[in-house]
Amino acid sequence: MAEVTLRDTILRIGDEANAAAIAVAAYDFEHHTTWSLNPARWFHAASTIKVPVLLAVYEAIEQHRFAPFSRVHVRNRFLSTVDGRPFRVGPERDANAAVHAAIGRMLTVHELAEHMIVTSSNLATNLLLDLVGVEAARASLARLHLGGIDLRRGVEDEAAWEAGINNRVTAAGLCDAMRLIEEGKAVSPEASRAMLDILHQQQFRSGIPAGLPDDARVANKTGEISTIAHDAGIVYLDGRDAYVVIILTEWAAEVNGRRQETIARISRAVYEYMTRGTR
């Protein structure tokens, strides 16, 4: 499949689903090639911002600021980036009830990192981001030379949202982040392996993984809010090196029925492009 055909296929998939915008970035470790569509377009990050937070957590571990098994007091009170007003993460707005059930007790950094990625806990994310610090996290991303990622605030900070302060990503930025993890260059080889182990446990599988053969293995992180649906993954297939694929989509609020199906169809198109001539 030629690149122009892949582009046409993805645009057709988006048109059929009434997506407002689509961006895709891919890197193939087998042939050391890239492919992209709108790679520099900014999107609200939704929960894909949790991958950059994970990177910042593991850099802080590398700096001996704390250890994976350091204990963190679980609370549900955070201060807005805008005005310092307190806010909380409502249980109804979180994909994970386990961290809310632990309020008043202690969880380890490693446990919070797993909850943040594997079941996309917003409460775990804010606890870790508070532990690291937003500015320190931004500095971590800068040291990793990761552009295309704009980490500005915690999750559910409504005052920041109303002020137009949001976490943003590009497909290219997330692709670079996932490449560093797969290459063992995200902070250190040990940190990269630890992050990859967590990403492999992902429980949300209706996006990129759903478009792949049953024997494919995927380390990924999804993100979805009212007008956004994303997936960022590293795909492992037998008999070849891995590839990274990032699929970012934006939607009108009233269009909500085919988001994951659309990501899965795009994932399938990229898979067929990556494996052309090898099957």
Q: What's the CA gap between 132 and 30, in Å, rounded?
A: 35
Q: What's the CA gap between 105 and 83, in Å, rounded?
A: 28
Answer yes or no: are the C-beta atoms of 46 and 248 closer than 8 Å: no
Q: What is the pLDDT of residue 94?
A: 81
- Of 28-37, 95-104, 244-253, 260-269, the one with minimum mean pLDDT is 95-104
Residue 176 pLDDT > 50, yes or no? yes
pTM: 0.95
The beta-strand segments (E) located in 119-276 are: 149-150, 168-169, 217-225, 228-236, 243-250
Helix, strand, coil % in the chain, rounded to nearest 5: 45, 20, 40
What mean pLDDT comes out for the span 233-252? 97
Terminal CA-to-CA distance of the chain, rounded, Å?
A: 13
**pLDDT digits over 186-242, tens only?**
999 999 999 999 999 999 999 999 999 999 999 999 999 989 999 999 999 999 999
Answer yes or no: are the C-beta atoms of 241 and 30 closer than 8 Å: yes
Residue with tokens 């310092």: 84
Q: What is the pLDDT of residue 81?
A: 94
- Secondary structure (3-state) at 90: coil
Q: What's the CA gap between 48 and 45, in Å, rounded?
A: 6
Q: What is the pLDDT of residue 254?
A: 83
- Of 80-84, 102-106, 133-137, the one with minimum mean pLDDT is 80-84
54 or 92: which leads in pLDDT = 54
Q: What's the CA gap between 249 and 219, in Å, rounded?
A: 19
What mean pLDDT comes out for the span 65-79? 97
Q: What is the pLDDT of residue 277?
A: 56
The confidence band for 2, taking pLDDT boundaries of 50, 70 and 90, is very low
**pLDDT digits over 3-57, tens only?**
458 999 999 999 999 999 999 999 999 999 999 999 999 999 999 999 999 999 9
For the chain, which domains are there?
A: 42-169 (3.40.710.10)
What mean pLDDT comes out for the span 56-80? 97
Residue 1 pLDDT > 80, yes or no? no
Residues whose CB falls within 8 Å of the CB of residue 95, separated by 6 or more in sequence, listed in order: 119, 120, 121, 122
How is residue 102 annotated by DSSP? Answer: T
Beta bridge partners of 33: 28
Rg of the chain over CA atoms, in angstroms? 18
How many CB atoms within 10 Å of residue 152?
A: 17
Q: What is the pLDDT of residue 95?
A: 79
**pLDDT digits over 95-124, tens only?**
788 999 999 999 999 999 999 999 999 999
92 or 256: which leads in pLDDT = 92
Q: What is the pLDDT of residue 276?
A: 87
Tokens of 119: 């079941």
